[in-house]
Amino acid sequence: MPAYYNTPNAADRISATQAPIQTNFVSLDASFSENHEPVATGGKHIKIDINNIGAEPTAAAATSLVAYNFLNPNSTNQELYVRRNGEAGVPMTARDYAANQGWFYLPSGLLVKYGTASWLVAAPGNNFYDYPAAGTEPVFGAVHMCNLTVIKAAATFYDAAIQLGSLTPTRINYAISKISAIGTYPDANVPFHYYSVGTPA
């Protein structure tokens, strides 16, 4: 930005305003050259640095989009957000990847959670899995779909079939039984993968 906004005035002489005008050119050059190609070669962006913002902004009009850098409470990192008018911001880069459990956002704003759980012989009636508690990862407002798959280890075949039951924002309910004897519980613990998609709370 220019150092002097009122130079030259209508009554100023060039000899009196040469120094502030030159200072303005230096200031403007510093601003335009930041993350840009030289003007002589087009002046296009090389990259965009987005500084952290203290409070989430809103889109000014129904046709507006706002992109900003904001601290995400779940990842505890600075994340790139995109926000439409009248909607919550979507943390495009927020995620937590782990070998057996994690979460991330789709560009549409949908939340994806995945992980590994187990049905236990010692508690055959506990046919449910609760997502990690709020505060450790984002919370679903509603779950739209979930896929469950029994895990086959290299040398182990589980005589088990798993069926999806009802879904809540905090819990996956399922039914499990032997493949060889429908209605009978398996003889060993059964590990399975889950993959859930929903809207965040």
Task: Give me the residues paired with residue 196 across strands.
Answer: 113, 146
Rounded alpha-carbon distances, angstroms, from residue 159 to 20, 128, 178, 191 = 83, 19, 5, 12
Q: Which fold has domain 96-200?
A: Immunoglobulin-like (2.60.40)
* pLDDT for res 22: 82
- Residue 155 predicted with pLDDT over 80: no
For residue 55, give every residue at least 6 positions away whose Cβ sits within 8 Å of its Cβ, in sequence order, or none.
Answer: none
Task: Please provide the average confidence, as pLDDT, over all residues in the chain.
Answer: 87
Residue 65 Cα distances to 15, 59, 60, 89, 201, angstroms? 46, 6, 8, 10, 21
Q: Is the pTM of this model over 0.85?
A: no
Convert the pLDDT of each residue in 103-139 to its tens digit. Answer: 999 999 999 999 999 999 888 888 999 998 877 799 9
**Nearest CA among 107, 50, 116, 113 for reference residue 84:** 107
pLDDT > 90 fraction of the chain, expressed in percent and rounded: 44
DSSP E strand boundaries for the chain = 65-71, 78-84, 90-91, 95-96, 101-105, 111-119, 128-130, 140-150, 161-167, 171-177, 190-200
The domain ranges of the chain are 1-46, 50-93, 96-200
Contact status, residue 174 vs residue 149, Cβ threshold 8 Å: no
What per-residue confidence (pLDDT) applies to 1? 55
Predicted confidence (pLDDT) at residue 82 exceeds the cutoff of 80: yes
Q: Between vectors from CA 87 to CA 198 and to CA 172, what angle results, nearest 5°?
A: 15
